[in-house]
Amino acid sequence: MTRKKRPEKPAPTPLPDVSRIEEANVSRLGLISIQERVPDSFSSWTVDFKVDGRPARLTCDAMPKYGGVPHGLDGDIATALIDLYVETGCPADGLLNTSAYQILKRAGLDDSGRYYQNLRQTLFRLRTATYTASEAWRDHRRGNWTTVTFNYLEGLEFTSGDEDLGLSRSSTLKIRLAEPIVRSIRSQYTKPLDLEFLTSLDRPLTRALYRLLDARRYPPEDPTVPLPSFTVNLMDWAEACKIVDQRSNKIRATLQGAHEELMERRYLSGVEYEGRGRTQKLTYRFAGTGEAQPDQPAAALALTEELRRHRVSLAVAQRLIEEFGEAHVQARLEKFQRLITAGYRVRSRSALLVDVIRDQEGKYPDGPYPGGAATTPAANAPVGDAKGAGRASYMPTLAEAMDELQPLEAQVDSALKTLQFLLRERLSVSEYALLRMGLIVGRPDPLEATRAASKAKVDGTLDAYTADLLLLLAELRAQA
């Protein structure tokens, strides 16, 4: 029987906060093993459980040639991909145009050769591992549980920057996320995720356990209101974590380091075991949400609440005060407020506030702050014009007015990300790779290219802009 198609809800807007979002099914089911290493032969697993009192099952079938089931750093990469997808506005086709460098940076990982090799292996695992969630995937629009089969990535295309056909800093990628994941995000079945806290954790295992715990902290029917604690059978938890050796003492040993780090970082207030052997129960007690720690001095409490009014998460606010001291944080908070009053342009105010507090390089000198409320650049010059053309009506940003340019790599990365967002399928993966090379040598100039593309978007002339850009890239290709 053909069902009448319901009107599609609008895609969620990326949250303007240090806290971001993640898809609630993915986080609750724990698709990726928390273990940092697994044998290549560990290529499948099955977890049976109950949802609303009914049997449910989750399975994963992977390929030994790519290192077994998704595990370890794969979780960091998967989280980064979803965050980048949400940042681009959640397109209905699930497509994400990005670069290897952008993925590693968003995941909080090092920009070195070894991590590019790990990234390639991770992407192949996410592309080839097949998941089946039987009566375990929540359809948020209809409010029921369904069965879905999917690969985390439905499409993967990239350029190689070396003779080994691997990934490198210059690699660009086109990735298509699984349709069930895309549909769920676009129907706003998401939960909060403190990405800044997540990427600050030391070990992949701790980050993986944090993601799984944070998902269980929120009820599946309403993943917005956190619970104070979570109790689970130890063996069931080992299955949820996809731990290979499921002897009770080995499970506890595997989790111990992550437990200690999460308590030290005040995400957990306690971890309690009850019983023995396979009947043991494990209770996690979460640190309070929206309430400061009772041993915090009164001045620190007030400062914590002031940071939270600017949408900085509790854990981050407390950590900043502990690390830098009340006087420093208070002074930087006042500097942040002067920046905003002066019209400093920023995508996320809370992220700017955290960066102002952490700044040790003088990126945000004391006022007066030139620039005021920046306007949309005129950017009338063609994409290949030299710097300075067409700026007559442009009001500079604070960084531009003070001549504090970002390092070239950061400029290129920022420009490429903006252009990928605006142009999407107008350029192929190989053309984006050539564009990145052009941005590095200043053809086109990163700042001018993004200004011109933004204006073309507003004017409805992106196709013409793209045609000019492709001519420039053709010249670069001919000269290479």
> What pLDDT, on the 0 to 100 scale, is given for residue 288?
63
Q: Residue 448's pLDDT is what?
A: 86
pLDDT tier at 10, thresholds 50, 70, 90: very low
Among the listed ranges 121-130, 301-310, 371-380, 417-426, which one has the minimum average pLDDT value?
371-380
Provide the β-strand partners of residue 156.
175
pLDDT on residue 349: 76
Question: Residue 194: what are its φ and ψ, rounded to 5°?
Answer: -85, 90
Token pair 């290219």 is found at 449
User: Which pLDDT band holds residue 386 (cuts at 50, 70, 90)?
Assistant: very low
Contact 145, 138 (CB under 8 A): yes
Is residue 318 over pLDDT 60? yes
Q: Write out pLDDT tens, residues 49-61.
A: 888 889 999 999 9
Secondary structure element (H or E) that encloses residue 400, with its range? helix 398-401
Query: Residue 97 is inside which H or E element, if any?
Result: strand 95-99
Amino acid at 293: Q
Distance (Å, whole) CA 200 – CA 214: 15
Task: Read off the pLDDT of each residue in 419-440 and give the average, rounded to a whole number.
Answer: 87
293-297, 345-349, 472-476: the lowest-pLDDT one: 293-297
pLDDT in tens, 230-271: 999 999 999 999 998 889 999 999 999 999 999 888 889 889
What would the mean pLDDT of 200-222 be, rounded to a whole number? 86
pTM summary value: 0.66
Q: What local confidence, expressed as pLDDT, does residue 53 receive? A: 85
Residue 137 bridge partners (DSSP):
146
For residue range 119-166, list pLDDT tens digits in order: 999 999 999 999 999 999 999 888 889 999 999 999 999 998 666 778
Alpha helix segments (H runs only) across 61-144: 74-87, 100-106, 113-128
